[in-house]
Amino acid sequence: MTATEITDPAVADAIVQAVRAWIDTDVIGKADDFEHADDFPQVMFDQMCAFGLFGATIAPEYGGLGLDATTYARIIEELSRGWMSLAGIVNTHKIAATMITRYGTDDQRASLLPRMVDGSFRAAFSLSEPDAGSDTRSMRCKAVRDGDEWIVNGTKMWVTNGVRASLVMLLAKTADDEVTCFLVEKEPGNTSGGITASKKIDKLGYRGLETVEMSYVDHRVPHSSILGGDDGIGHGLRYALSALELGRINIAARAVGVAQAALDDALAYAKERETFGKPIAHHQAISFKLAEMATKVHAARLVTYDAARKYDAGERIDLDAGMAKLFASEAAFEVAMDAVRIHGGNGFTTEYRVERYLRDTPLMIIGEGTNEIQKMVIARKLLAESG
């Protein structure tokens, strides 16, 4: 697939349709087995690799598909409609690829990006710590230079794909409390050197992929592992926050997918379940709820795609991505809750998928910067623009 082909809307649509068909056939109805057991869906992962999703946004010159953000958001929506955890398997990888593409040296791009396109060399993103979530300046993980190496010590939290990853985008404090990003390579499925997966984090939702606490004890990395080379020292936080703006579009797209799944299941159930001699969809209380749910899903999709299109046009998206993430995630939670209410007592059982949607939606409210942080960012931007 050439760079010219991937800009063709028909080609982009064909890719999205292929993913959608796979979700309908092989994911919906099968994901619950993996989700409830909290097992990694290897067969689904293999199919994602076959689709080329791990190289979706990597440029064709490195072997990737080079898809734009709008098409990628549509793919993430479809994955999340089937099972939101599938989007998580690829998201941290994409954040890493974005950071390397934007800020890596020529050698780093040439060395890492071709290995990242087929899923065999996966990446994790590591910023948060036990005492440093939204307050990123409070991180304690430190890297001290020792000749041509850096010695890393500290603990990181919420590392999705941390164990299976071959590359960790590690944010650590260097001299003068500046934050630098290190490209830490390790053996997948295991830890190495001074790296240990010190704790597996059990979660309310977002199951089937590992989220771990990772500890670094005198772990040595070469000086060449600094993202951006010498020019990258002290700029890691700026690099990460820039990539997380695009990550918020990803979170918004996930929310749209989960909300759509909740709406689909609620509609189907409301047409089948009968009370007082007719399907509950024909009772005004339920029909009004369905109308509100559909409106929220549609609005969330529009604001998400709008942010993605602005990103593709090269516009600044801190405001738009924040709004998309805020609105879509809150809408997804509300729609999932309404789907549970429409299912009544059945919605409280694991026999129906709506309970999973409700458990998954809080992640979008918290992840990639809590919604409270998004409101601060949005308000700050609005005040600045108003003079």
Answer whether residue 24 shows pLDDT above 60. yes
Same domain assignment for residues 369 and 300: yes
Digit-coded pLDDT (tens) for 116-129: 999 999 999 999 99
Digit-coded pLDDT (tens) for 192-220: 678 998 888 999 999 999 999 999 999 99
Distance CA 179, CA 196 (A): 22
Tokens found for residue 291: 């109308």
Q: Which of 272, 368, 372, 385 is catalytic?
A: 368
Q: What is the mean pLDDT of the chain?
A: 93
Same domain assignment for residues 9 and 102: yes
Same domain assignment for residues 311 and 290: yes
Same domain assignment for residues 49 and 93: yes
End-of-domain residue from the set 116, 150, 185: 116
Answer whether residue 6 shows pLDDT above 60. no
CA atoms lying within 13 Å on the CB side of residue 322 = 20
Q: Provide the pLDDT confidence category of residue 12 given band limits of 50, 70 and 90.
A: confident
Answer whether residue 114 shows pLDDT above 50. yes
Helices 42-51 and 9-22: crossing angle in degrees, nearest 10, is 170
Residue 194's pLDDT is 86
Domain residue limits at 351:
238-385
CATH number at residue 59: 1.10.540.10
Answer whether residue 276 shows pLDDT above 80. yes
171 strand-pairing partners: 181
Contacts of 290 (CB under 8 A, 6+ apart): 263, 266, 267, 270, 281, 342
Percent of the chain with pLDDT over 70: 97
Any catalytic annotation for residue 368?
A: yes
Same domain assignment for residues 202 and 214: yes
Q: Provide the pLDDT confidence category of residue 1 given band limits of 50, 70 and 90.
A: very low
Same domain assignment for residues 322 and 352: yes
Answer whether residue 246 shows pLDDT above 80. yes
Same domain assignment for residues 202 and 178: yes
Q: What is the pTM of this model?
A: 0.94
Same domain assignment for residues 21 and 133: no
CATH number at residue 220: 2.40.110.10
Residue 362's pLDDT is 97
**Are residues 122 and 153 in contact, defined by beta-carbon separation less than 8 angstroms?**
no
End-of-domain residue from the set 83, 100, 116: 116
Tokens found for residue 49: 């690799």
Same domain assignment for residues 206 and 224: yes
Residue 3's pLDDT is 37
Q: Is the alpha carbon torsion for 79, 31, 208, 54 positive or negative?
A: negative
User: What torsion, rounded to 10 degrees, do the Cα atoms 8, 10, 13, 19 define?
Assistant: -100
Residue in the structure block whose two tokens are 């630098």 = 180
End-of-domain residue from the set 116, 144, 164: 116
φ, ψ at 43 (rounded to 5°):
-65, -35
Across the range 71-92, mean pLDDT stands at 96
Same domain assignment for residues 219 and 355: no
Same domain assignment for residues 259 and 336: yes
CATH number at residue 269: 1.20.140.10
Same domain assignment for residues 230 and 335: no
Residue 36's pLDDT is 93
**Are residues 48 and 10 in contact, defined by beta-carbon separation less than 8 angstroms?**
no
The closest alpha carbon to 210, from 192, 191, 233, 226, belongs to: 191
Distance CA 92, CA 32 (A): 23
Residue 232's pLDDT is 97
Domain count, the chain: 3
Residue 189's pLDDT is 65
Q: What is the 3-state secondary structure (H, E, C) of the chain?
A: CCHHHHCCHHHHHHHHHHHHHHHHHHHCCCHHHHHHHCCCCHHHHHHHHHHCHHHCCCCHHHCCCCCCHHHHHHHHHHHHHHCHHHHHHHHHHHHHHHHHHHHCCHHHHHHHHHHHCCCCCCEEEECCECCECCCHHHCCCEEEEECCEEEEEEEEEEEECCCCCCEEEEEEECHHHCEEEEEEECCCCCCCCCEEEEEECCCCCCCCCCEEEEEEEEEEEEHHHECCHHHHCCEHHHHHHHHHHHHHHHHHHHHHHHHHHHHHHHHHHHHHCEECCEEHHHCHHHHHHHHHHHHHHHHHHHHHHHHHHHHHCCCCCHHHHHHHHHHHHHHHHHHHHHHHHHHHHHHHCCCCCHHHHHHHHHHHHHCCCCHHHHHHHHHHHHHHHCC
154 strand-pairing partners: 216
